[in-house]
Amino acid sequence: MNKQLLLKKRPVGLPEEDTWALVSNEIPEPKEGEVLVQTHYISLDPAMRGWINEGKSYIEPVALDDVMRAGTIGTIIKSNNHPKFKDGDVITGWGGVQQYFTTTGDGHFKVDTSMVPMTKYIGALGMPGMTAYFGILEVGKIKEGDVVLISGAAGAVGSVAGQIAKIKGCKVVGIAGGPDKCAYVVNELGFDACIDYKNENIYSGLKEHCPKGLDVYFDNVGGEILDAALSRLRMHARIIICGAISQYNSTSIQGPKNYLSLLVNRATMQGMVVFDYVDRYKEAGMQMGMWMMQGKLKAEEDVYEGIENFYDTFTKLFSGDKRGKLVLKIIED
């Protein structure tokens, strides 16, 4: 049987467990030109919260009673005359929260897991890594000597964005929650400093670690931290709006109060969506893979097991009870 997680209702605030329902159905048969994939891992991302809202966004919402959207990696166990993929190929794409699915292969990519673990392809070499890569380089336009601030610095996107900035010769300051995460960001990821937003005053921390202001702010959280960053901009600073996890479960969105700093400093604030760069994923993957082989880029996955544990794992995105990329293993050994 095929265990699938279906979206049952639109949540208000933090989703409750009955937002989804776990069901079992027959394993599907691939039609002509399709493949049957057995999913090994799914990616859990803050963007999932936005995908289950009603209304138009950069991507259509998940429909009620449809399988919950998720990035996946799995093995093809049956090909029905597919022109590109064959039995045994490992592919990554948008398979959703289910143990098996059929696909024509559109939007899926074959990957080599002989030297790189599967989980890396839904982490640093998947959507989170691509988001960090294009966000910091293309939107942030970093250059050597820039002072760069990264919120969500211990997370899947922030940790990679900050390391890329270090590789490019920037001074990098992170923001994370708790002393353990801050120590990880500095001691293991190589950031120059990290501000503990749970135990430190953000404004004081920015004044201490960025006394001359910021050139680039990579925003993953929004809210008060975005306001604090706006207060420290240098001339022609760039702000990348990647996410706003502090606001995703709020019924009243908090917008920036210090936005006039953009005017005073002739700064820019630009949103970025990783799907805009899909034709360049291979380029980014090759570069980040090289950095990983050289020991310049580290990526950590926080892996949990069991499709039945989707909800408990999903809530870790918002409780902060995780480090690095959040992954759920759903193949049954």
204 within a domain of the structure (yes/no): yes
pTM of the full structure? 0.92
> Do 79 and 134 belong to one domain?
no
Residue 266 is given by DSSP the state: T
Joined together, the tokens standing for residue 300 give: 């950590």
285 within a domain of the structure (yes/no): no
CA 271 to chain centre: 15
> Do 138 and 223 belong to one domain?
yes
Roughly what angle, to the nearest 10 degrees, separates helices 127-134 and 281-293? Answer: 100
305 within a domain of the structure (yes/no): yes
Per-residue confidence (pLDDT) for residue 333, from 0 to 100? 77
Collapsing DSSP states into helix, strand and coil, what is residue 187? helix
Domain that holds residue 79: 2-123+300-329
Per-residue confidence (pLDDT) for residue 92, from 0 to 100? 96
Measuring CA to CA, which residue among 149, 158, 79 is closest to residue 123? 158
245-290, pLDDT tens digit by residue?
Answer: 777 777 667 888 999 999 999 999 999 999 999 999 999 999 999 9
Per-residue confidence (pLDDT) for residue 104, from 0 to 100? 96
292 within a domain of the structure (yes/no): no
> Do 108 and 139 belong to one domain?
no
88-122, pLDDT tens digit by residue?
Answer: 999 999 999 999 999 999 989 999 999 889 999 99
> Do 115 and 184 belong to one domain?
no
Per-residue confidence (pLDDT) for residue 85, from 0 to 100? 96
For residues 304-308, give the mean pLDDT.
97
> Do 175 and 81 belong to one domain?
no
pLDDT of 321 higher than 90: no
User: Are 117 and 183 spatial neighbours (Cβ–Cβ below 8 Å)?
Assistant: no
CATH of the domain at 203: 3.40.50.720
For residues 221-243, give the mean pLDDT.
96
Joined together, the tokens standing for residue 169 give: 């010769």
26-85, pLDDT tens digit by residue?
Answer: 999 999 999 999 999 999 999 999 999 987 778 899 999 999 999 999 999 999 999 999
Q: How many CB atoms lie within 10 A of CB 139?
A: 20
Residue type, position 197, single letter: Y
For residues 287-303, give the mean pLDDT.
94
Phi, psi (rounded to 5 degrees) for 8: -110, -25
> Do 270 and 203 belong to one domain?
yes
> Do 140 and 256 belong to one domain?
yes
Per-residue confidence (pLDDT) for residue 34, from 0 to 100? 97
Per-residue confidence (pLDDT) for residue 305, from 0 to 100? 97
User: Are 238 and 141 spatial neighbours (Cβ–Cβ below 8 Å)?
Assistant: yes
Structurally, the chain folds into a number of domains equal to 2
215-230, pLDDT tens digit by residue?
Answer: 999 999 999 999 999 9
> Do 35 and 85 belong to one domain?
yes
The DSSP annotation for 154-175 comes to TBHHHHHHHHHHHHTT-EEEEE
User: Are 168 and 190 spatial neighbours (Cβ–Cβ below 8 Å)?
Assistant: no
> Do 117 and 226 belong to one domain?
no
Distance in angstroms (rounded) separating the CA atoms of residues 14 and 23: 22
pLDDT confidence of 244, banded at 50, 70, 90? confident
Phi, psi (rounded to 5 degrees) for 182: -65, -40
Per-residue confidence (pLDDT) for residue 243, from 0 to 100? 87
CATH of the domain at 25: 3.90.180.10
Per-residue confidence (pLDDT) for residue 255, from 0 to 100? 81
> Do 187 and 68 belong to one domain?
no
287 within a domain of the structure (yes/no): no
283 within a domain of the structure (yes/no): no
pLDDT confidence of 166, banded at 50, 70, 90? very high
> Do 21 and 111 belong to one domain?
yes
Torsion of CA 242, 246, 251, 254, to 10 degrees: -80
> Do 133 and 214 belong to one domain?
yes
294 within a domain of the structure (yes/no): no
CA 181 to chain centre: 17
Per-residue confidence (pLDDT) for residue 328, from 0 to 100? 98
Distance in angstroms (rounded) separating the CA atoms of residues 317 and 124: 17
For residues 190-208, give the mean pLDDT.
97
pLDDT of 207 higher than 80: yes
151 within a domain of the structure (yes/no): yes
Distance in angstroms (rounded) separating the CA atoms of residues 10 and 65: 11
Per-residue confidence (pLDDT) for residue 251, from 0 to 100? 67
pLDDT confidence of 320, banded at 50, 70, 90? confident
